[in-house]
Amino acid sequence: MVKPSIITTNKVLPFGELSPLEFERLCLWLVEREGFSSVQHLGESGSEQGRDIIAYKETEQRKELWYIQCKRYNRIDVTTLKKEVDKYNTLVASDNQKRPTGIIFITSASVSANIREKIEQYCHNFGYFCEFWARTELDMRTKKYPEIVTEFFAATRIPPVSALHQLPSSPTDFTGRKSDLNQLVKMIKQRGITICGIHGLGGVGKTTLAIKLAEKLLFQYQDAQFYIDLQGNSNPLLPSQIMSFIIQAYHPDIDIPKDVSALTALYRSVLHNQKGILLLDNARDAIQVEQLIPPLGWVLIVTSRQSMVFPGLFAKNLNVFSVKEACEFLLKIAPRIGNQAQEIANLCGRLPLALRLAGSALVERRDISPKVYVDRLLDANHRVKLIDASIELSYEILDRKLQKLWRSLAIFPESFDARAAAVIWDINEDETREVLSDLIKYSLVEWQESDKWYEIEFSYHLHDLARLYADSKLKDDERNEIKLRFITYYIDVVPKPDVNDYLNNPTEAVGKWLHQFTPNLSTINVAQQYKLKELEEQLATIKKDLKEREELAYQEFTNSYLDGNPFDAAGALYMIACVRYRLEDFEEAIRFAESAISLLEDIEQVDAAEVIREDLNQWIEESSQKQNEKVSE
């Protein structure tokens, strides 16, 4: 037999030029090499029963019987294939022992997704599995075995399998992340997780951690390692582009199917029976990733600024470095930073990208001392330049409404709750929580559970550098508007002691009020930096409110004393002492507190007296400190 000639294998092998018998013989060789056992070529004797080849597949449960049809056609249709299936039905009807587990159609023709679906369903109706090794898939499988190509075709060269190990090296100065790495490795090795998603703020080190994780897994997944930047933050690659890239990494000369279903089938076939790592960096969302999930035997590692949810995914939210890790990282990059490391780390918000840029700047600019560089970083504009390009990618993904809402959050110097954001945004609280969830998903807002003081939560915040970037995007009219809302909210939210609570239990009522008042007063003091007239008026109102509560307490003391109720009288004196303390009149605060304690001790209320004494000791200490400060001035 004259072998069909091929000058190169850039094109699909010319299966159509083989004789029917040679084509069946090629199929026989291929089936045997694809893991089947007891392979038998029935030839013409089996063709009437639809069985060109019979073979067995060993599983843990049993030995499965498979029938293989070899069709050297230029085109194939549903009717022809159904007739072949019907031959099996006739055979099984006469002898149920001959019922196959599945059928494989090996053909030199292309088979559309529509034909595949119809025949797969037709086989399913009779209890058979169905596979197609059609044209491109057949070409791919055949080229895996150079001896088959050289046996049946006059090939001048067989291209080598190439580009299967594309994992970049992790940085030599990789620092920290020990607990994160251990957790991810444990999830994969011990719990069988095969899909890991690492998400977080731009510049937090997702890619570096993903590469380091892949390096840790190399020994178990040696067949192939792919690193692909999905460009989700700029011009996202299509899943079909990624599948084509991976297929051609195995088979550089293969013709890529244009049909998406055929391409997906080929993609999974190429990766079948392999143990490898697929690292997809910078994914835009779950939709971009789900089609690329490899078959069993692979580990998929995905990084994204957006948190994702889909079946089988273990999601890891990556935070900034600890202070220790940040300092260690800086000193690895630029040892001359020395004792300025912690201050630079804090000014960079412990964000790995900002730390690397800061450290590299001190390596490149030997004429700048670490102390001078710290002074530069104190300028907010200089700090935000460190991560401007990185955060801008995340910012640009948002629609205009989300951009406006996010940059408005720059008004909060620290943590804030959903109610505060709702006031700043001038929308209802339910919608606010939905928007905050979206921003968390994009890693532009950070969230953590925290304790509640009487249903007041402070659980959302922006990373320091993200807040500076957001502030740089605020327009003047926006800033003025949200400043007024900010001030109004934090004045209105200051709780007032409940008179009825006070009358029932003065000590508890005052304690509750102080717990609520203190954190809000701190925020108001931050708001005071805005130097707005409205703020000054509101602060004056607070002092007036304190005076009113002092008068209320005086009245309560008088009534309680005249009624012969020394316990409530002591509670009133304690409330007056607390008001004096808040107004920083320590001398009067101490005097009223001592009077309250004396009353309580007279009626042997030792526990209540001790509670007030703890505050009294603190006030005495603060008063002494204030006096010392005045003397030193």
Nearest to 242 by CA among 277, 270, 267, 262: 267
pLDDT for position 452: 42
Bridge-based pairing of strands 276-283 and 298-304 is parallel
Task: Tell me the CATH number for domain 5-155.
Answer: 3.40.1350.10
pLDDT band at 517; cut points 50, 70, 90: very low
pLDDT in tens, 458-500: 468 777 777 777 888 888 888 878 877 776 676 555 454 454 5
- Lowest-confidence segment of 144-153, 294-303, 307-316, 385-394 by average pLDDT: 385-394
Q: Say if residue 185's pLDDT is above 60.
A: yes
Q: In terms of Cα–Cα distance, which of 307, 283, 278 is closest to 199?
A: 307
Between residues 518 and 419, which one has the greater pLDDT? 419
Same CATH topology for 178-317 and 399-492: the answer is: no
Q: Which pLDDT does position 278 carry in this prediction? A: 94
Q: Using alpha carbons, list the distances in angstroms from residue 193 to 222, 298, 299, 315, 504.
A: 18, 10, 8, 11, 57
pLDDT(437) > 80: yes
Q: How far apart are CA 304 and CA 311, in angstroms?
A: 17
Report the 3 state secondary structure along 59-128.
CCCCEEEEEEEEECCCCCCHHHHHHHHHHHHHHHHHCHHHCCCEEEEEECCCCCHHHHHHHHHHHHHCCC
- Angstrom distance (rounded) from CA 245 to CA 225: 13
Whole-prediction pTM value? Answer: 0.52
Please state, for a pLDDT cut of 70, what percent of the chain lies above it: 83
Q: What is the separation of C-alpha 335 from the centre of its chain, rounded to a whole number of angstroms?
A: 32
Residue keyed to tokens 């690292």: 279
Distance CA 294, CA 272 (A): 8
Q: For the chain, give every domain's residue range.
A: 5-155, 178-317, 323-392, 399-492, 499-632
Q: Where residue 10 falls among pLDDT bands split at 50, 70, 90?
A: low
End-to-end CA distance of the chain: give it in Å, rounded: 108
pLDDT of amino acid 45 = 55
pLDDT at 525 over 60: no
Pair of tokens at residue 255: 């013709």
Non-local (6+) Cβ contacts of 56 within 8 A are 36, 37, 38, 63, 64, 65, 66
Q: Looking at the DSSP assignment, which residues form a beta bridge with residue 283?
A: 304
List residues bridging with 280 in a β-sheet.
228, 302
Query: What tens digit of pLDDT does each residue of 255-284 get?
Result: 888 898 999 999 999 999 899 999 999 898
Q: What is the pLDDT of residue 264?
A: 92
pLDDT the model gives residue 156: 54
Average pLDDT estimate for 140-163: 74
pLDDT tens for each residue of 100-113: 999 999 999 888 88
Name the nearest CA neighbour of 212 among 177, 186, 165: 177
For residue 494, the SS3 value is: coil
**Using CA atoms, how far apart are residues 461 and 417, in angstroms rounded to an integer?**
9
CA-to-CA distance for 242 and 291, rounded, in angstroms? Answer: 10
Instruction: Count Cβ atoms below 10 Å from residue 204 Cβ, excluding itself.
Output: 25
Third-level CATH fold of 178-317: Rossmann fold (3.40.50)
Residue 443: CB atoms within 10 Å = 23
pLDDT given at position 243 = 92
CA distances 407 to 354, 424, 447, Å, are 20, 11, 17
Position 180 confidence tier, pLDDT thresholds 50, 70, 90 = very high
For the chain, what is the mean pLDDT? 80
pLDDT at 531: 41
What DSSP character marks residue 34?
Answer: T
Contact 478, 491 (CB under 8 A): no
The CATH number of 399-492 is which of 1.10.10.10, 3.20.170.30, 3.50.50.100, 3.30.70.580?
A: 1.10.10.10
- Please give the C-alpha separations between residue 458 and each of 412, 415, 427, 506, in angstroms, as whole numbers: 11, 5, 19, 27
Which H helix or E strand runs over 446? strand 446-447
Residue range 44-70: mean pLDDT, rounded: 79
CB 134 within 8 A of CB 107: yes
Alpha carbon distance 416, 409 (integer Å): 9
Where does the pLDDT of residue 522 fall: very low under 50, low under 70, confident under 90, or very high at 90 and above?
very low
Judged against a pLDDT cut of 70, whether residue 508 lies above it is answered with: no
In sequence order, the β-bridge partners of residue 225 are 165, 277
CATH of domain 499-632: 1.25.40
3-state secondary structure of 162: coil
- Residues in Cβ contact with 142 at an 8 Å cutoff, skipping those fewer than 6 apart: 13, 26, 30, 148, 149
Angle, CA of 332, 461 and 383, to the nearest 5°: 45
Distance between CA atoms of residues 391 and 302, nearest Å: 19
Residue 158 in tokens:
């067989």
| Mean pLDDT of all residues in 173-184 | 91
**In the structure, what pLDDT confidence band is assigned to residue 514 with cuts at 50, 70 and 90?**
very low
Structure tokens at 448: 């953590």
Segment holding 302, helix H or strand E? strand 298-304
Section 126-144 average pLDDT = 89
pLDDT for 531-562, tens place per residue? 445 545 555 666 677 677 777 777 777 777 67
Concatenated DSSP letters for 246-275? HHHHH-TTPPPPSSHHHHHHHHHHHHTT--
Centre a 10 Å sphere on the Cβ of residue 563 and count the other Cβ atoms it contains: 10
Q: Cα separations (Å) of 120 from 67, 114, 116, 126, 129? A: 14, 10, 6, 10, 7
